[in-house]
Structure 1
Amino acid sequence: MTLSADLFWSFRSPYSYLAIGRYRALSASHDIAINLRPVYPLAIRQPDFFERNHPNWLSYTMRDMIRVAQFHGIPFGPPRPDPIVQNVMTREIAADQPYIYRLTRLGQAASRRGKSLAFCDEVAQLIWGGAENWHLGDHLAGAARRAGLDLAELDAEVEREAEALDTEIASNQVALEIAGHWGVPTLVFDGEPFFGQDRIEMAKWRMAQKGLKPR
């Protein structure tokens, strides 16, 4: 019997990027279906989050994300552009956000088709893997194609059904909180949340207890 899990995930979260490839590999090698459910990042849900954090938070997070990428051999470069427009010095989130709404709605449209794990992984590799101007040219179209999707079709749906997609994205956040957490990446398996890129092996261990088998 194929097991199933939900992965709550954000395009702006570096740790989401550092987790998604490994979760995708797990779903390819084992009999587990992982449904990625995108949520809007804290910068959208709680714009003052960065201003409220300890001054060391950002510098430590930057150091740690690079270290995790190096440890796992995951390509990592600063996003160019960042999916969230933010003043790095003041940490203020800009009112105009030209990227994150489209990206998250595209991820939800892919989720409707059962291909959000592949799509978000391919896009995240562009954003966080070092592709410059990932939002221009054929970058996103290529990512969609590699995931078995058509970007023009997804974009048309995003334009046509933005409100419905946002409702679904909001329900993803509610489901995450009901499961017992609030941040990403969080995998929820059999009602149990596993938060962070450093909980993948523990999640796999729990799945093995429930009958996880190699494909």
Structure 2
Amino acid sequence: MTLTADLYFSFRSPYSFLAVGRYRALAEEYAVDIALRPVYPLAIRQPDFFERNHPNWMAYTIRDMMRVAQFHGIAFGPPRPDPIVQNPATREIAADQPYIRRVTRVGQAAARRGKGLAFAHEAGQLIWGGQEGWHEGDHLAGALARAGLDAQEIEAEVAAQAQELDAEIAANQDALEAAGHWGVPTLVFDGEPFFGQDRIEMAQWRMEQKGLARR
């Protein structure tokens, strides 16, 4: 028996990246199909989020994400460029967001083909692995190829179906909230949400209670 789960994921979320490779490994080792459900980050959905945070929030988050990466042996570095165009001094979010919209739409197109988890991991390694200019040249095409996808086909679909893909991405966010959470990464299994990169072992424990077995 193969179990199923949904992973709600943002390409701008460092914790989503720190979780996705481990969820990919789980799905490869065990009989569970994890469907990627990309969502737009808080910077798009709530542009004033960062302006409202406690002054210590950013410094602690940076410290913690680096610590998590070191603990799990995950190559990690600041994105170059940031998927979100933002004023670093004021934290104001720009109206035009070409990077995050493109990569999220590509992720949704990959998810349509059941390859979203693999693409999110491959693209995440570019964005959060310190690849300068990850959005340029054939970097994302390479990530698509490594995920087993036809890059030319995906890019053509993204160009032609931006509105349809955005509607699916919005539906993902609605489904996440209907499942009982709002943030990422959140895995939803059997109607139960597991929020955070530190809930992977607990999600696996719950799956084992439902008959999770090695492939």
Give TM class, smaller chain: over 0.9
Q: Does 1:32 align with 2:23?
A: no
One-letter code of the match for 2:102?
R
Q: Does 1:49 align with 2:49?
A: yes
One-letter code of the match for 1:169?
I
- Give deviations 1:122-176, integer Å, cap 9, x for gaps: 0000000111111112211111000011222111111111111111101000000
* Partner secondary structure for residue 36 of structure 1: strand
- Give deviations 1:25-64, integer Å, cap 9, x for gaps: 0000000000010000000000000001111111110110
Q: Does 1:117 align with 2:117?
A: yes
Quote the offset at 1:89 in angstroms. Answer: 2.1
Match of 1:189 in 2: 189
Q: Does 1:161 align with 2:161?
A: yes
Match of 1:95 in 2: 95
* Partner secondary structure for residue 182 of structure 1: coil
1 CA distance for matches of 2:13 and 2:52? 18
One-letter code of the match for 2:156?
A
Structure 2's unaligned 5+ residue stretches are none
Q: Which runs of 4+ in 1 moved over 6 A?
A: none
Task: Give the TM-score, by structure 1 length.
Answer: 0.99
- Give deviations 1:62-83, integer Å, cap 9, x for gaps: 1100010001000001100010
Task: Give the TM-score, by structure 2 length.
Answer: 0.99
Structure 1's unaligned 5+ residue stretches are none
> RMSD value over aligned CA atoms?
0.6
Matched-pair identity in %: 76
Match of 1:149 in 2: 149
Q: Does 1:11 align with 2:8?
A: no
Q: Does 1:180 align with 2:180?
A: yes
* Partner secondary structure for residue 34 of structure 1: strand
